[in-house]
Every structure is written in structure tokens, then in C-alpha cells.
Amino acid sequence: MKKVEVAVIPAAGLGTRFLPASKAIPKEMLPIVDRPTIEYIVAEAKASGIKEVILVISDRKQAIIEHFKENTMLETMLREDSKPDLAALVNEMCDGIKITYVDQKYPGGLGHAILVTKPVIQDRPFVVLLGDDLVINDGGLPVTKQLINEYEKLGASILGVQEVAQSETSKYGIVDPVTSGNLTLIKGMVEKPISNPPSLKAVLGRYLFTADIFTALEAVPRVPGKELQLTSGIEILLKQAPVYAYTFTGFRYDVGDKFGFVKATIDFSLKHKEIAAKVEEYLKSLK
Ligand code: UTP
């Protein structure tokens, strides 16, 4: 079985929920305290043993390339200015991982964003981490590593899921599981069901795919002007190969959504060594 060493991070979407902030600044670059969201996501991939990250971007997202580019001049200036702690932060995210970029020429949907990485991924299994979903599992395994561990036993595609409230199912891809329990084969998937969801297990921004997903995505009938949904590809994939849902451990923030972003900002600031005490005091002072 091939090892899972490559990750795809789709980050080419329009970010309409975050306008006007996302007009000029990619929403994946908006900081949660002092690090852009995308840096936490790359860090999760790195901590999970991933060696190569493919960032799917568009020409509006050049700031992402700038962020992950080595900046030796800034690092040197900070060292000369006796700021070694800051100097260490400038390039640490580029260490120990290869980052490449694939251009998504138009926002054709999440399925399309993944399909454009086919020439780079080829026949390798890979993980997908959505560029606006943070999952935190303090003290435990990162969610990507949890999926990789399951893959090493199953050798099949796995969707990271968690149960959501019935009222929330219309926001997510919902799986139709074969059995109950933390790991189950799935027999179907429904995108954002308004009523009668097949379960409460929602796919929350983390996936592990065998390369079969590419042929499945290519087989999705295309409708001009409509996005290529990843869910449509998964529906085809599960007719050809086993697809599992794994209920991961961790707390997920949708930072592409304003409330999710604010929640992450508060929670991360309460854990930030420089400001945690001040933020806590401030929050207590609020009525
Ligand atoms: P979202 O649907 O959350 O992002 O996609 P969006 O389309 O940018 O956001 P809204 O709904 O307009 O506010 C999840 C992830 O997939 C990427 C996004 O950048 C985001 O990180 N994505 C989405 C792509 O890379 N390409 C696409 O065509 C669509």
C-alpha cells in the first residue's frame, strides 16, 4: 500500500461569505490572532507526516504564495535587530515540507478544485484539508493523522465526519452509513439535505482519497454554469470502490463563516501565551 504523504488544500474559492474583507485579501490569509488560517492547516498536514502540500489557488490569491515563500532578507534584518524570536517565525512554516501551487482558473467548485490536481497527484492516495476549516485536537492526534491511521488499515477512501444537530444538516454533505459506530462504510451521500437527512454525520473539511476520486469526478455529468461538487464525485466513487466515514476527534471551526471566525479568534486568543490572561480578563469584564 502506498503511504499517504501528499495533501491538497483547496483555497481558490471566492469567499463570498467574507466580503468585503475577502475582496483583496484571500479569506484563507485572514489571521486567527497572529497566524493566517492557512498556516494552521499546513501545520496540521506537517504534524500528520505529510511531506508535500499542493495548494489550489487562483490569480487573486498571490498573497498565499508570498506567505509561504522564504524571505531571507526579513529574517536577516530581524536577527540583526536582535529579534531572534520574530526571525524564527518568518520562515518556519516553509521548513520540512514541499509546497507547490496548482492554478484553478475559475471557481468551478470543490470537486473541480480537486480535479485540477490530478496531473500532480497521479496515482497517489492523498488527503484534502479545506482551506477554511480548522480542526483542533489539543494534546491528541491531528485529524489528518487520524484519517491516515485508518487508511493504513483499510486502504480505501475515508471521509472525516462528525455528528451535527438535525437543524444543521442542510449546511453539509451528509453520509448514508451502513452501520453505526465511529468507522463505517457508506452507501450514499447527500449534499445539504433540507429534509430527511440519511444520518446526522456531516463531512467536515477533511478527506482521504485514493486516486479513484479523479475518474469519479471526471464521470460527473457537467452542467454549464454549475459547480462540480465533490459530493457528486463521491456518489460515483462509492459505486466503484469502498468509501468509509470516520468520526474524528477534534473541534472544528468553519473560519470561512463570520461566527466561526470570531469563535476561533476568541478560543485561540485564550490559548495564546502573550495575550491569554488579558483576553480572559477582558471577556470577564464584559456584561
Ligand atoms: P467554500 O465553499 O467554503 O469556499 O469552499 P468559498 O466558495 O470560497 O466560500 P463562500 O461560500 O463563497 O463564502 C471550501 C474550500 O474550498 C475552496 C475554498 O477556497 C475553501 O477553502 N474552493 C471552493 C476552491 O478552492 N475552489 C472552488 O471552486 C470552491
Distance 14 CA to ligand 1 centre (A): 6
92-105 confidence digits (pLDDT tens):
877 789 999 999 99
Looking from the CA of residue 107, the nearest atom of ligand 1 is 28
Taking 90 as the threshold, does the pLDDT of residue 86 lie above it? no
Q: Which three cell numbers mark 18?
A: 467574507
Residue 221: pLDDT over 80: yes
State percent of the chain over pLDDT 90: 82
Q: Which one of 110, 129, 258 would you pick to mutate in the ligand 1 pocket, going by the greatest count of ligand atoms within 8 A of its CB? A: 110
Residues, the chain? 287
- For the chain, where do the domains classified as CATH 3.90.550.10 start and end? 6-256
Distances (CA, A) of 29 to 7, 15, 111, 180, 192: 18, 11, 22, 38, 27
Nearest of 260, 205, 228, 266 to residue 18 by alpha carbon: 260
pLDDT of residue 113: 97
Q: Are 166 and 197 in contact (CB under 8 A)?
A: yes
The CA 87 to ligand 1 mean position distance, Å, reads 32
* pLDDT for residue 72 is more than 90: no
pLDDT tens-place string over residues 10-67: 999 998 999 999 999 999 999 999 999 999 999 999 999 999 999 999 988 999 999 9
Query: Which DSSP state fits 166?
Result: G
Cα–ligand 1 centroid distance for 256 (angstroms): 8
CATH number of 6-256: 3.90.550.10
The whole-number pLDDT of residue 131 equals 86
What whole-number distance in Å separates Cα of residue 112 and Cα of residue 64? 20
Residue type, 54: I
Mean of pLDDT over the chain: 94
Find the residues whose C-beta lies inside 6 A of ligand 1.
Answer: 10-17, 28, 56, 104, 107-110, 112-113, 130-132, 256
Burial 26-61 (b: 16+ CB within 10 A, else e): bbbbbebbeebbbbbbbebbbebebebbbbbbbebb
